[in-house]
Every structure is written in C-alpha cells, then in structure tokens.
Structure 1
Amino acid sequence: MHKGTSLHSYFLMSQTLASRLVRALRHWIFATKSFTTTYLSRLLQFLRILDIFSKQKTVCPCRPPPTSRKDEDRALCPSFSPVQDPDALERTSVHIPYPTIPIHIDDTTNDICEGSSEQYSVVAACMDPQPSRSPHHSRTSLASRVPTPLPEIPMNVNSTNDRDKNQLRPELCQVVDDLVAVAPTEYERYDRSVKLEVMESSYVIQPMTMTFPNTEPPQPWVAYTHPEGAVYFFDAKRDILTDAYINEEDDREDIEHYIAQIHDYLTKYDVHLPSDVQLVLELRGSGRCGYYFVDHSHKSVFWLDKFDPVDLLQEVKVDFTTSHIGSEMESQYWYHNELFPGVRHIPDNTVRDLKDMLIHAVGDSLTSQASTVSYTLDELQMMLGLVTKVQIDQGPESVGSACFLYRLMATFAHERFLNLHGERAARLNKDQSIHPKRQRTLFMNIVSPFLFYGSGTHLKKLEKMSVDFLVNKPSWSKLLQNLTEEWKEFILYATVLLNANVAFLAIQSVDSSPPHGSRSAVQRASYFSIVTSLGVIIVGLMLVRQHHTTLNMSFLANRSASSLGLEMLAAMYSLPYALLMWGMVSFLISFSLMCFGSGDLPTIVLTSVGWVALCLLLLWCTSVSYEKHAYYYPWLLRQWVNIRTRIREKIEESRGQDETDSRTSQA
C-alpha cells in the first residue's frame, strides 16, 4: 500500500512538473517568435509525452474515465497542440473577458490584455487552427449520457464577487478538451460540404402513401429547417442549439459529451448564467467543438474564455472602446438569429427599429451625395417595402421573414461598427477618413509624368472610394461601370489610330526605304505608334475581362491596405490612356517629320503654326484643372495678378522690416 501511494505521488509530481515545463516552454517560444527551434520542438514533444504518460496513471477528475481505446485517446489528447501559427497570436489588440457579457460592463471592469505571456497561452488554447479534415476522419465514440439541464440562475454580471471568481477559476477551453470558443460569423455551416456517394435509387413508394415526414431526432431534440435548406436541432429544455446531425449516433454522442462537460464545469466552479441564455455547439471540420453563449436580454454573445476577437475587428484599425465593440457584438447576435431563425419569436420592436433605420437610410441617400449607406436607393426602397409587409405576430413559424429581418439587423449593426457609430471619431461621410492622410510615395512621383498624370486622377478616385480599407458597394459598382466604358472607348480610339498608321505607312513616299535596308525616322515613329495602339487594345481588353470576372470589392480593399498598393493599381488603370497618348504623340511626330522633311516652305509654315496653336490649346485645357477660385480673368492674367500680388507683399514686408530695424537702432 505504501509502495502504491509513493508511485501515485511520483506520477502526480511528474505530471505537475511536465505541465509547468510545457507551459513555460510555450511562453518562451511565443515570446521569441522562433519558427526554426527544432531542438526546442523536440524537447516540447518529449515533455508532452511525459505529461501524457503521467496522465495514464492519474485519471483527471474533470472528465469521465475512458471506456474504449478511442475514449482513451480523447482523454489523453491535450487541448493545445504546439505552435502552428505564432504570428496569428500577436494580431490581437483586444481580449474580451469571461464569463460576463462584455457589452454591458463598465469601462473600469473591462479587462483588456496587452500582450502578456499568459495572453499567448490562453489564446492558443482557445484558437481553432482548422486543418483540412480527412474524408475518413471519424469522431470518437463516447458513452451515452443522460441529458442534464444547464442551470438557469440569474446573476449580476457586474458584481465584485463574480469578477473575483472569474479571475480565479480556469477557462472552459482549458478544462474541456477539444473545445474552442468561436463567434457566430466563424460558424462553418456554409463551409461544410457533405459529400454523398453516387448510387442508383431503389426506393419504392408504397400504395396509399400520402405523407412524407422528416426523420424525427431522439428526444429532447427537435429538428428545424432553415429557409435556405440547412437542418439544425434545438433542445428547448436545456436551451441548446446545434447543426450537428443529431440523427447520427456519433454526432449526438459527441454533442452530449460536450454538454455534460460544460455542465460539469458550471457546477464545479459555481458559474451562474443569466436566465435568457442559449448555448450553441458546432462540430467543426478540425475535429474540435466550437461553442458560444447567446444572451437574448442584452442582445449579445459571450464565452467562458478570454476570447480573441481579432478576426471580428480587423476591418477597423483603432483603439477600441467597449461601446464600439458592443456594436459588433450586437451584429454577431443578429447573425446568430439569422442562423437559427425558427426557435424564437421576433423580438419586440425589431420591425419598428428596422423600419426607422431604413427610412433614415432612404432619406440620407436622397439628400446626401456622400451617404455612408452601403446600398443603392432602389435597394433600400425594396427593403423598406418588404419590411413593411412583415407582420409582427406571425410567430416563429415565419422563418423566412425572420431570417430576412435578422440579416438586415446584422448588416446595419456591422455598418455602425465600421463607421464608429456613437464614437468620438464617427464617420459621417463615405469619403471621410478617420486616419491621417497618407503621403505619396516616390514611385508615384516618378511614374506619373510617363503616364501623362492619368494615374493621379485614378488614384484620387480610388482613395475616395476605399476610405480606411473599406469599399462601398454602390461606389465600387459605379467605378467599375465608368472604368469599363472608358477602357472600351480607348480601345476604339486605338483601333482608329492603328488604321491611320497603317494607311500612313502605305504612302509611297513614306514607305520608301533608305539605302542599306535601314528605316527612316518617320517610319520608326509610326512603328512605335502602332505598337502602343496594339498595347491599348490588349491591355484594355484584359482589364475589362478581369473586372467583369475575377476582381471584386475585396481586391480593392486589399490593395488599399498600403499607399503603394493603391498607387500601383492607379498606374495600371491609367495604362490604356497613357499608351494611347504615347501613340498619338508618336504619330504626330512621324507626321511632322514627314512635313518638315518635305522641303516645301508653305507646308513647313503651316505645320509650325499648327504645332504652336496646338500647344497653346493644350495649355489652355490643362489650366482648367487648376482652377480653384471664382473666374474673373483668363489664366494668364490670373497668374500675372498673383505674381504682382506676391511681389507687393514681399516689398511691403521688407519695408516693414527696415522700419523696425531703424527704430531699434534709434532706441
């Protein structure tokens, strides 16, 4: 007996030591950002093996004893694997504390981590790397459990005692293996693709068969069908939602296992949840189980872990406040309702609030040229007409109307988050930036003259419609339409210029070759014009095709992440214009060389006069772009007035300085 006790104590000590060494080594790896630490990885693997070996002798009190080899693999599998994406652990700027509802906590109680070593271990333990899932992957079969209802005990989420308990108890993902905190927008319903074998049907419809009911899931689960066709399941007694296929035994046992583990955690650590709370579980493609809680009274989602919302907040690059994050959490709440629209009635005042938002959006689009609404006026009017037809008392069975309302509410809540609604630096116009203006790079200053400054015009348009990495859908559609029409016109002009060059070279006096087989300057300039004309046609056709097939708003949003990205895109958009201008210039040079080399004096005089007049007209047209004040005089007179005014100011300034110096010397 004494020997067994000593051996048991030895394994407990070895388990504790191995776990501490593993945790310290992980922290060190994260801090140094080392991707090539081969020996450290081997040491980490050895320590994990030692940790697992010690766990084989000591049954963890927070999980049931394994009943089969598969169960043993699950029980011994650690909840965190070695570093898979160390850079991903440093992208976060905000951590939402647990288990309280983060939207309604005072600023003084909001715990925001800022890059401590503990932060990396917590985030890594709750992240889901989502590796590709093997088609032969099978989840571990677990012993069936009797469904245990989750406690529904109201609590004051802002109480000091509860906050102290939150800091002392471990997080849920650290206790329950293979559990990961996810957001509703990270739900994998639309990424989950179930493949069925191709086979000939042998189903026979029996006589007098008039009903074809759905397969009923085991009690207490109830199956619901989303308007889009997806099947999900709801346990009304325990307020649990999932779209794992409960009709299959493996999926049902996995879900019941995680429910039991979460219930054990709530009971063991005395966690009290609000009354109107639902638990959502999802069997993810990585083999892990995602979860989140929904609080309908506060219209928010929350977790029992420190959640890293970097993927939810990455569209806005600011120092977040709790109220700002609250807008995105409300958007997550409405998106959850869109995923599961049939289990609850439409909340009170939802239709009224949505009507009010749509009416304001319609009025803003009608009266403002820079509205922040991301829909066109026609789309908004159609939305308002549909929302007006929705009856509030239709009940949960009207899932189509509910899904539409929830989607609009999620969209408008997310728009409020993007535009900093209710914040000090709220964006009021779609072309208003909340960040300092970015300076032009050396690339733009060098390339612009060779592109006849067409890239500058395109750059202004791109900057105006991709403010702060956000692209407005109506603006993108309008820009795409204008660009394609412009490129098509350039292609047409280039075709005309190409024909003109071919006809010009067909002139016998121009086509005559000098001795030794060389070409004249007239021919060379015309050849260059032909090449640029063909370049306009090829580049223009390629740009039109790409922007009608592959390129979309996300492409422009990614390009707007840096000044160089937008500048290179502006230069690419101006290529048809620049090549056409080079072709026109080279054709004019070729034609002028032919005229000046003819030796005919009247021809030379007329050509010279035409060139001078053309240059003056070009300067006149160019000067219009620089008019920023009321027009009282022609451009030359305005420049003379400005120069004369500056000279007078300098003279008066020098006289005043002389008078000041004389007074100082006399004193």
Structure 2
Amino acid sequence: MSKNDLAPVISESISEGTLRPTTSNDTGRYEKTGLVDPDNMQISPGLFIRSRVPEPAYLPLHWSAHIHPEGQPYFCRDGAPRVVTEAYLYRPETLDKVTRWIEKIEQIVTEKSFPISEQVELFIKIEDEDCAYYFVDHATRAQSWLEEIDTYDLGLPPVVSLSQLSIACEELYWTHVEHFPMHFGGLSRETLDSLVCVFTHAICDQMTSRVSTFPYSKQECEAFVSLLKSSRDHVADGNITCTVARLWSLVCRNRYLTHYGQEHSRLSRDQAILYSPETKHTWVSTVASRLSFKTSDRYLAQLDDVFVDHLVYTDQWKSLVTGCLRDWRGASNGAFLGLMLHIFLLALTSSPTLAVASALLFGASLLGATLLIHRYEPMEGTCATQAMEYLESIQSPTFKFQVVALMFALPHALRLWGVLVFSANCIFMLDKYCGTGFAVGITVAVFLAVLLFQWTTSESFNLSIAKLQAKFSRTQDDSYTSLV
C-alpha cells in the first residue's frame, strides 16, 4: 500500500492542502529523485580560511541545519514540540509552507489537548500543497498521531495485542532516530549496553541452537558486539546514534515477527504460530514423489522449512540455494556422462528406440540443470527480504511449493529415468550378444543388489539390526542368570 492510498484522517485542512498521518517507514526518504548539473565556480582568495561556510544561508530563529551521516541534510526547530523535517528550508517558499503547517498542527494540538513535552518531536513532510506528519516521544520510544487511526491505514502489519503494537511503534521510533540522529544530544550509554546484551544472547543462541530465531549469524553478532563496545565512549555522537538506532530497529522488527512477549511466541525458527488454512493435495504429492523417486519430497521439506510463516532467514536461504546448486551440478555431470556413454555404445545397441529415449532423458536432465543453475546462481547472495518476496511470488495458493519442488527435482529425476532406460537397453544388448539366460541372470542379480542396497541403507534395516542386538543381549543375560 503506497502513501497515496492512505485516506486522510485529520479532517481539518487549510486552503492549500490536507494534513495526513504517516510513519517513519513511509516518508519516501530513499525514493527521492532529482538531478544536479555541476558547473565551474570562481574561488575567492582565502575562501575557506575565514569560515567553514563562507556565506551561511538564512534560517529563522530556533531553526538549525544538520547533516545525516549518509549525507542527507535536515532541519530542526527547538521548542515544544521539537520539529524535524527534510524539506529544504533554504528555499523561502518551502520555509513558508513548513511554517504554516506547523502553526496549523500546533492549533490542532491545542484544540485536542494533545500531550506535548520536551521529549515529544514532530516530523513533517511537505507533499506539494499537502503535509504528512507523525509524533515521536523519546521518553516512551513510540510514534503517535493526533486522532485514532487503524493500523491498516498507516501501512502497519496486523497485531495480536497492544503489547505487540507497542513493539511495532518502537520500531518506527528507532527508524525515526536513525533518520534524524544529529540534533538531540545522542542516546544514553544504558541504551547501547542493552543492545550489546541482546546481541550477546544472540551469539549464545546461535552457537547452541540450529533453529535460533535471531536473524543474524554468530559471526555477524560478534561483529556487532565489537562495534558497539568500541562506541561506548562516543554515545553523544550522531553517527553512533544512527548506528545504535538502526540496530534497535532491526531487533524490534525481529521481536514483532517472533511475537516477543506474547502468549504464543515463536521459540524456534521452524515453529509455525500463524493460522493458515490447510490445503492438502495428497495425490499431487504422491504423483510427484513417485515420478521423482522421492527427490521432490526432500526439496519440498527444505522449501517449507525455509519459509515457515512466510519468514526467511538469510543463512537458511543461502544454505538452501547452495545445496540445490550443488545437487544440480552433480545431476548435470551425471547426465553428461550418460550422454557420452551413448557415443561408445551407438554401434552395439539393439534397440534404437531405447537409445533415443535414454539420450533424450539425459539431455533433458542436463538442460533442466543448466537452466536452474542459471536461474538460481545469482540468488545465492540474496538478502532475506528479497528471498521472502521471491518465495511469496512462486508459492501457489493451492499447491504451495509442491510444483516448485518437482521442478527442482527434475534434473535428478530425469537422470535416474535415463539410467533406467539405458539399463533396459543394456539388457537387450546382453540378450542379443550373450543369450537370453545370461541376460536374465545378470538382470536378477542387479535387481537383488539394488534391493539389498535400498534395504541396508534404510531406517527399517537399522531398526531391525538394533532389535536383533537387543534381543541377543537379553538372551545372553538370561543364559548367564540361569547358570548362576
């Protein structure tokens, strides 16, 4: 939902436009477009010796200019409430609009008896003749607005309780501080130390659990802890304020997603806690499993595991893509070798039809693996947000990831079908050159060897061996007891 879809909540308007609520995630900060045309300039003698800024631009009383660490200038007005804006106040017409909208908002604040203190800060954004706004409270670390408004109208995600809404609003607060960090004197050392403790616990969680819900790896958390500890003596610096605010925003976002503090919180990455209607199509799973020799089952389990409740963790996504690429490269190598065998056996084959069929299967396996590698190799370094958006786009409302899993399994499955057809062709060649009896004997021996391999590598075989060992151990114990 874009900001243009938001219905204005504040009904009051001045002749030039309308006031509407927004959030710090919907200010369009990184969506601005503009072009500059650099030109040559005359440098007067001693230009930067006399003053850092030779000709300071005019700002009204109580206004000050600041530069974000990323380079974006913004402006702040002292007072109650304090006001911040990215509108370029060095332009008189822009300054005039900002001044008039501040006066209008302060009038509404007075009429509604809206609580204002020195800790409250107002953000405004000029949109042609309209104005977007929100308030933040540095004491409670939350955003608020002048009238009651639905979370949907603000573009906020759904919540299950007021406490979860508080976490979502705290995330908005830290995003605001990240965007405007230079003017209010920095954060307390306790705020930074609390963040160090959060990442320290995350390091332990990542080291002791395979299903940690924290979005960063052990190595990344250690880097964050080192960064924060080295910043303890500079908490008043705006660059450190921006850094700490960004990390707190990420922590709050993760807490919202894991339902931190709620009755049903997410304690492990693979734990689903959101209601989702079941849409099982067992016949599709059965057909895909049989056609792919159960390879699609493995990919389906991996896709479901990496997308629990539509959440994606970077490490799990990278592990999934890396494993798939390794499988597809192995399948393509096997398919290529299968095609090469046809060259040597071309003169010996007794069934051209089977030879063509197996060659086509190997070729299809090689082609499928090549296309999948080409499609997913660039995604190995995709971030979690992009991976989530991609998985959202390919997940079927009806079949979920079953079709995708089958596509992933095709190179391996086609190669195995090619091996089966090629083996059948070899049996016909043995029948032609060595006789029917020899061909049947070799076929039975190979079939029994395959069954033996399947059985000895299955779970049921290991369970049977364990039961026999336990039974033999009990028999020996009974015999020893009888002798005593």
Deviation of the 1:410 alpha carbon: 0.8
Q: Which amino acid aligns with 1:433?
A: A
Q: Counterpart of 1:350 in 2: which secondary structure? A: helix
**2 CA distance for matches of 1:588 and 1:350?**
68
Which residue matches 2:413?
A: 578
Q: Counterpart of 2:273 in 1: which secondary structure? A: coil
Q: 1:451 to 1:549 in 2, by over 3 A?
A: same
**2 CA distance for matches of 1:475 and 1:545?**
16
Aligned pairs (5 A) from 1:390-469? 390-392=231-233, 394-395=235-236, 398-435=237-274, 438-441=278-281, 442-469=283-310
Which residue matches 1:480?
A: 321
Deviation of the 1:561 alpha carbon: 7.9
Q: 1:601 to 1:573 in 2, by over 3 A?
A: closer
Q: Is the CA contact (8 Å cut-off) linking 2:187 and 2:235 kept in structure 1? A: no
Q: Is the CA contact (8 Å cut-off) linking 2:358 and 2:419 kept in structure 1? A: no
Which residue matches 1:235?
A: 77
**2 CA distance for matches of 1:180 and 1:429?**
39
Q: Deviations over 1:233-267 (max 9, x none)?
A: 11113510001111122322221221122122223
Q: Counterpart of 1:387 in 2: which secondary structure? A: helix
Structure 2: runs of 5 or more not aligned = 472-484
**2 CA distance for matches of 1:534 and 1:270?**
71
Matched, 1:226 2:61: no
Which residue matches 2:137?
A: 295
Per mean C-alpha deviation after superposition, the further-off stretch among 231-240 and 615-624 is 615-624
Q: Is the CA contact (8 Å cut-off) linking 2:303 and 2:401 kept in structure 1? A: yes
Structure 1: runs of 5 or more not aligned = 1-87, 89-125, 131-169, 512-518, 638-667
Q: Counterpart of 1:552 in 2: which secondary structure? A: helix
Q: Is the CA contact (8 Å cut-off) linking 1:180 and 1:291 kept in structure 2? A: yes
Deviation of the 1:482 alpha carbon: 1.6
Which residue matches 1:542?
A: 374
**2 CA distance for matches of 1:244 and 1:572?**
51
Q: Which amino acid aligns with 2:150?
A: D
**1 CA distance for matches of 2:71 and 2:463?**
60
Q: 2:109 aligns with which of 246, 259, 266?
A: 266
**1 CA distance for matches of 2:279 and 2:455?**
29
Q: Is the CA contact (8 Å cut-off) linking 1:595 and 1:604 kept in structure 2? A: yes
Deviation of the 1:448 alpha carbon: 2.5
Which residue matches 1:107?
A: none
Q: Is the CA contact (8 Å cut-off) linking 2:21 and 2:133 kept in structure 1? A: yes
Q: Deviations over 1:571-605 (max 9, x none)?
A: 22222222222222222222222223446246314
**1 CA distance for matches of 2:29 and 2:98?**
16
Deviation of the 1:434 alpha carbon: 0.5
Q: 1:171 to 1:484 in 2, by over 3 A?
A: closer
Matched, 1:510 2:349: yes
**2 CA distance for matches of 1:558 and 1:323?**
31
Q: Which amino acid aligns with 1:453?
A: K
Q: 1:598 to 1:308 in 2, by over 3 A?
A: farther
**2 CA distance for matches of 1:264 and 1:205?**
47
Q: Is the CA contact (8 Å cut-off) linking 2:310 and 2:392 kept in structure 1? A: yes
Q: Is the CA contact (8 Å cut-off) linking 2:310 and 2:388 kept in structure 1? A: no
Q: 2:442 aligns with which of 602, 607, 612?
A: 607
Q: 1:207 aligns with which of 33, 45, 53?
A: 45
Q: 2:452 aligns with which of 600, 613, 617?
A: 617
Q: Counterpart of 2:212 in 1: which secondary structure? A: coil
Which residue matches 1:103?
A: none
Deviation of the 1:192 alpha carbon: 0.8
**1 CA distance for matches of 2:233 and 2:184?**
13
**2 CA distance for matches of 1:288 and 1:593?**
81
Per mean C-alpha deviation after superposition, the further-off stretch among 479-488 and 348-357 is 479-488
**2 CA distance for matches of 1:590 and 1:307?**
72
Deviation of the 1:628 alpha carbon: 9.4
Aligned pairs (5 A) from 1:320-331? 320-331=160-171
**1 CA distance for matches of 2:234 and 2:366?**
65
Q: Is the CA contact (8 Å cut-off) linking 1:532 and 1:582 kept in structure 2? A: no
Q: Deviations over 1:293-314 (max 9, x none)?
A: 0011111000113333237543
Which residue matches 2:478?
A: none
Q: Counterpart of 2:270 in 1: which secondary structure? A: coil
Q: 1:283 to 1:445 in 2, by over 3 A?
A: farther
Q: Counterpart of 1:616 in 2: which secondary structure? A: helix
**2 CA distance for matches of 1:313 and 1:171?**
15
Deviation of the 1:549 alpha carbon: 7.8
Q: 1:592 to 1:175 in 2, by over 3 A?
A: same
Q: Is the CA contact (8 Å cut-off) linking 2:185 and 2:238 kept in structure 1? A: no
**2 CA distance for matches of 1:337 and 1:364?**
28
Which residue matches 1:74?
A: none
Q: Is the CA contact (8 Å cut-off) linking 1:338 and 1:403 kept in structure 2? A: yes
Deviation of the 1:475 alpha carbon: 1.2
Deviation of the 1:562 alpha carbon: 4.2
Q: Counterpart of 1:196 in 2: which secondary structure? A: coil
Q: Is the CA contact (8 Å cut-off) linking 1:532 and 1:579 kept in structure 2? A: yes
Q: Is the CA contact (8 Å cut-off) linking 1:530 and 1:583 kept in structure 2? A: yes
Q: Which amino acid aligns with 1:571?
A: L
The share of aligned pairs that are identical, in percent, is 23
Q: Give the greater-gyration-radius structure (CA).
A: 1
Q: Deviations over 1:553-574 (max 9, x none)?
A: 4312454584623222222222
Aligned pairs (5 A) from 1:286-365? 288-310=130-152, 313-314=156-157, 320-348=160-188, 349-365=190-206
Structure-1-length-normalised TM-score: 0.63
Deviation of the 1:226 alpha carbon: 0.8
Q: Counterpart of 2:64 in 1: which secondary structure? A: strand
Deviation of the 1:483 alpha carbon: 1.7
Q: 1:186 to 1:611 in 2, by over 3 A?
A: same
Deviation of the 1:622 alpha carbon: 6.4
**2 CA distance for matches of 1:526 and 1:347?**
69
**2 CA distance for matches of 1:599 and 1:526?**
22
Q: Which amino acid aligns with 2:92?
A: E
Q: 1:173 to 1:387 in 2, by over 3 A?
A: farther
Q: Is the CA contact (8 Å cut-off) linking 1:466 and 1:560 kept in structure 2? A: no
Deviation of the 1:129 alpha carbon: 3.0
**2 CA distance for matches of 1:454 and 1:423?**
38
Which residue matches 2:479?
A: none
Q: Counterpart of 1:237 in 2: which secondary structure? A: coil
Deviation of the 1:479 alpha carbon: 1.6
Q: Which amino acid aligns with 2:403?
A: M
**1 CA distance for matches of 2:265 and 2:463?**
31
Q: Is the CA contact (8 Å cut-off) linking 1:127 and 1:180 kept in structure 2? A: no
CA RMSD of aligned residues (A): 3.0
Q: Which amino acid aligns with 1:273?
A: I
Deviation of the 1:322 alpha carbon: 0.2
Matched, 1:189 2:29: yes
**1 CA distance for matches of 2:262 and 2:426?**
63
Q: 1:248 to 1:596 in 2, by over 3 A?
A: farther
Which residue matches 2:423?
A: 588
Q: Is the CA contact (8 Å cut-off) linking 2:312 and 2:387 kept in structure 1? A: no
Deviation of the 1:343 alpha carbon: 1.5
- Figure out how many residues of one structure are paired with residues of the other and give that number: 455
Aligned pairs (5 A) from 1:268-287? 268-284=111-127
Structure-2-length-normalised TM-score: 0.85
Which residue matches 1:532?
A: 364
Q: Deviations over 1:418-465 (max 9, x none)?
A: 101111101111111113574532433332221222111111111112
Deviation of the 1:407 alpha carbon: 0.7
Q: Is the CA contact (8 Å cut-off) linking 1:488 and 1:540 kept in structure 2? A: no
